[in-house]
Amino acid sequence: MAPVTGKEKSVRERAEMPFEFVGCIELRQMLGIRVETERQLANFLKLMPLDCVYYHTHGSLLRHRYRAGMYSNDFATWAAIEVRDRVLGERLAVLDPLDCETLTDLRDSIIAVIEDHLRPMTVVPRVVHGEPFSFIESHIVAVPTGVKVDSLVDFRRTLSEVEDSTVYYHALEARVRLKRKQNDFSAWLKDGLGLPGLAAKVKALDPYTGGLERVRGQILAYCDEVLAKGYDL
């Protein structure tokens, strides 16, 4: 039998504070504003509530990837697909929402990209054959699942079974709207189970290009690695 190390011991420990899985659901409120030009998009975005910015950026992860579109936020998808302005689509798509500390910062960044793009243009791109952009606001309702775990084995097993929105809630909602400094998974793995290496790997995951299922799959793979090795990454 291999000698027990400090790291291995920490993996097998039970956390004092269990991790409670919480799912969520989104209700979409249409704000009654539809725009047809990129200029209107920027101008109206300035007036929209922050929950609208949230819906069209982070919130796209709650939708099936087909409906969310190929870009990482609705503004990029609309510019590229409906207006057929791929350049603006690409510029907006590369914005990383988690680089912005607040939704106000994120909104300012989006508007800055659009205005910078329009500055040298003499004709403002507009929808000709496509659909106008409809501003929508997100209302998120948290749904506690009642499932609490206090070990990595149970955490891994439960994470593999929960509904997608649970991954979303802990990975994004907690960080963006509830303003926690990191996602719930990495916080608990670090503080609850004493696994800073695993926590750092989980914190670094990018949901915007691979989607929630990829995030879940990668967390499970990291957990498997730790459980197989018997110590932190």
Partner 1 sequence: MTTARLDAYRDVAPKGTIEFLRCLAARVRGRSFLHVNSARHGGGVAEILHRLVPLITELGVDARWEVIKGNPAFYTATKAFHNALQGREQTITSQMLDDYVSTNRACAERLSLEADLVLIHDPQPAPLIESRPTNGKWVWRCHIDLSSPQRRAWRLLRKYVSKYDAAIFSLPKFAQRLRIPQFLVYPSIDPLSDKNRELPKAEVDAILERLAVPRDKPTLLQVSRFDRFKDPIGVIDAYRIVKKHNDCRLVLAGGGADDDPEGAAVLTEVREAAGQDPDIHVLELPPNAHLEINALQRAATIVLQKSLREGFGLTVAEALWKGKPVVGGVAGGLAVQVIYELTGYTVNSVEGAAFRIRYLLNNPDLIAKMGNAGREYVRREFLITRHLSDYLTMLVLLTQ
Residue 3: DSSP 8-state:
P
Q: Does 16 bind partner 1 (CB under 8 A)?
A: no
Tell me which residue of 210, 103, 204, 57 sits closest to 222, measured CA to CA.
204
Q: Does 77 bind partner 1 (CB under 8 A)?
A: no
Q: Does 47 bind partner 1 (CB under 8 A)?
A: no
> Which tokens is 54 given?
């949230």
**Count of residues near partner 1 by CB under 8 A:** 29
Which residues lie below 8 Å from residue 92, measured CB to CB, with a gap of 6+?
71, 73, 75, 76, 79, 110, 113, 114
> Which tokens is 211 given?
């989607």
**CA angle 47-50-53, nearest 5°?**
90
Q: Does 163 bind partner 1 (CB under 8 A)?
A: yes
Choose, by CB under 8 A, the member of 17, 87, 112, 141 that binds partner 1.
141
Which x/- pattern over 112-131 shows residues binding partner 1 (rule: CB under 8 A)? Answer: -----------------x-x
Q: Does 177 bind partner 1 (CB under 8 A)?
A: no
Does the CA dihedral 78-174-137-41 come out positive or negative? Answer: negative
Q: What is the DSSP string of 78-113?
A: IIIIIS--HHHHHHHHT--GGGSSSHHHHHHHHHHH
Q: Does 29 bind partner 1 (CB under 8 A)?
A: yes
What is the Cβ-side half-sphere exposure of residue 181, based on CA atoms within 13 angstroms?
2
Which neighbouring-strand residues pair with 37?
126
Q: How far is the CB of 97 from partner 1 (least distance, A)?
A: 22
Choose, by CB under 8 A, the member of 164, 205, 227, 233 that binds partner 1.
164
Amino acid at 31: L
Pick the stretch among 39-47, 112-120, 161-169, 196-204 that binds partner 1 (CB under 8 A).
161-169
Indicate the residue among 5 and 209 with the shorter CB distance to partner 1. 209
Q: Does 64 bind partner 1 (CB under 8 A)?
A: yes
Q: Does 134 bind partner 1 (CB under 8 A)?
A: yes
Residues that bind partner 1 (CB under 8 A): 23, 25-30, 32, 34, 63-64, 66-67, 129, 131, 134, 136, 139, 141, 143-146, 161-166
